[in-house]
Amino acid sequence: MGYDFLRVLIWLINILAITGNVTVLFVLLTSRYKLTVPRFLMCNLSFADFCMGLYLLLIASVDAQTKGQYYNHAIDWQTGSGCSAAGFFTVFASELSVYTLTVITLERWHTITYAIQLDQKLRLKHAIPIMLGGWLFSTLIAMLPLVGVSNYMKVSICLPMDVETTLSQVYILTILMLNVVAFIIICACYIKIYFAVQNPELMATNKDTKIAKKMAVLIFTDFTCMAPISFFAISAAFKVPLITVTNSKVLLVLFYPVNSCANPFLYAIFTKAFRRDFFLLLSKFGCCKYRAELYRRKDFSAYTSNCKNGFTGSNKPSQSTLKVTTLQCQYSAVLDKTCCKEC
């Protein structure tokens, strides 16, 4: 790392990234609720950011072991399998995270734009191949330096900074430009989402302000992560470096993993749905039973309301359909009541 404050920061950041994303993954995968498209995408995002945390943990561990005598280990580390593994982790995690963030934003925009047209809704059968494409793309990008397109041996933090050949320059510039395009798409979608939900007749001004602030935070964290890295990396790719390798470590530790720490909080932990899942999970272990029961009652009230109002309107169902649906509602209600009593 070279600097003591970087050693402290890298440990703090990797602990936050690993614990935050492991928590999100565990809660989402053990939830009793159906795996929806947003939940599926959040699992992918959390896994990508977890991989970034593993990269930071590996770098921090090696730094702790070689502190004050890195020059004795530099060649072995940078040419060894450990550095290659760290490099693969960080490029794979970075690209999968950017890809998933873009898909999440497009899904939010699509859901709001086509809210009334249920046949246009993005379903899990569509999301799975989309994310499979992201995994294949991220894996390919991360593997290229292992087969001679740039390499992970140039610097001690194992990033593909070798731009000696034209192919390596094209590789670095392609990654950077794709990330810039992804950021532009994210910004454009959130601006469209804001104007789509901004309706004076349906929403108070303070709600508009809250939505704008949330979107601004999301865009700001993306910008903070990408802008400094992209600017200096593009200049370095054209062999006009504006910052030394030593100083670039400060930039990379401070800004590069920002999203990996922020994403689990912004996209999951700070949301009401996640808090509900979290407290329901804790109640299984005997903790926070009162809060969990409040969430169960709220869900039960919402469900019974839907059962009562599900057939209002001109299109009335057949008598047999009504009987089956009523039985389903009553059966689910009995199950929920039993669950509440047990807890």
Question: Residue type at 195?
Answer: F
| pLDDT value of position 332 | 43
Question: Residue type at 56?
Answer: L
What one-character DSSP code corresponds to residue 33? Answer: S
| pLDDT value of position 144 | 92
Whether 330 shows a pLDDT value over 60: the answer reads: no
Q: Residue 249 in contact with residue 157, Cβ under 8 Å?
A: yes
What percentage of the chain carries pLDDT values higher than 90?
11
CA-only gyration radius of the chain, Å: 24
| pLDDT value of position 244 | 67
Whether 137 shows a pLDDT value over 80: the answer reads: yes
Whether 135 shows a pLDDT value over 90: the answer reads: yes
Measured CA angle at 310 (ends 309, 311), to 5 deg: 95
| pLDDT value of position 324 | 37
Coil, strand, or helix at residue 230?
helix
Q: Cα dist. 67→15, 211, 252 in Å?
A: 20, 46, 19
pLDDT digits (tens, 9 = 90+) for 63-88: 888 887 877 888 888 888 888 998 89
Whether 44 shows a pLDDT value over 90: the answer reads: yes
Mean pLDDT, the chain, whole residue set: 76
| pLDDT value of position 80 | 87
Measured CA angle at 291 (ends 289, 294), to 5 deg: 110
Write out the two tokens for 192.
Answer: 């469209």
Q: Which residue ranges form the domains of the chain, and what is each CATH number?
A: 4-67+78-283 (1.20.1070.10)
| pLDDT value of position 313 | 40
Give 228's pLDDT tier (boundaries 50, 70, 90). Answer: low
Report d(CA 226, CA 145) in Å as an integer: 21
| More confidently predicted of 204 and 60 | 60
Whether 315 shows a pLDDT value over 70: the answer reads: no
Query: Which range among 190-199, 229-238, 289-298 shows the weakest confidence by mean pLDDT?
Result: 229-238
Whether 212 shows a pLDDT value over 70: the answer reads: no
Q: Determine if the pTM surpasses 0.75.
A: yes
| pLDDT value of position 132 | 96
Give 191's pLDDT tier (boundaries 50, 70, 90). Answer: confident
Query: Which range among 19-28, 106-115, 239-248, 290-299 shows the weakest confidence by mean pLDDT?
Result: 239-248
Whether 236 shows a pLDDT value over 60: the answer reads: yes
Whether 187 shows a pLDDT value over 80: the answer reads: yes
- C-alpha dihedral (86, 90, 91, 93), degrees to nearest 10: 130
